[in-house]
Amino acid sequence: MIPDGSEWVMPVAPIFFVRICINKRLNTDRLPSCAARGSRELALKLEDLITAENLPVEIKRGPCMNNCLVGPNLKVQGGAMFNLNDDTSDARIAEIMAAIRDEVAKRKAAAPAP
């Protein structure tokens, strides 16, 4: 048992990644950036949800994905690309988590039996 009273859970190795742009512009050109639109907070929220569901997925923070005007942007490896257009609402997060769960199920189904 962990000092906070919770049970320790064996970590699960990721079977794929979700890449999220956390680029922040210096804003000398007054253009938006993913970080200014909440991508760093979104990455933390997704990590919390992925951990809570014990999904074998890792969030990878990365540089610009060349879609700043429609960000924050993220890509489920082998799956959907999301251009959130400044919408990090609970509904959009639920949509992203559904895509992540779908990709987990697809990869587990395609994995060879042990």
For the segment 7-62, what is each residue's pLDDT rounded down to a tens digit?
Answer: 756 556 888 999 999 998 776 677 788 998 999 999 999 999 999 999 999 999 99
Q: Is 50 exposed, middle or buried (0-12, 13-18, 19+ CB in 10 A)?
A: buried
d(CA 52, CA 86): 25
- Domain layout of the chain by residue ranges: 32-107
Tokens matching residue 39: 């991508």
pLDDT at residue number 88: 95
Render pLDDT for 64-112 as a digit per residue (tens, 0 to 9): 998 888 999 999 999 999 999 999 999 999 999 999 999 999 998 987 7
Q: Provide the greatest CA pair distance for the chain.
A: 55
pLDDT at residue number 114: 67
pLDDT at residue number 77: 95
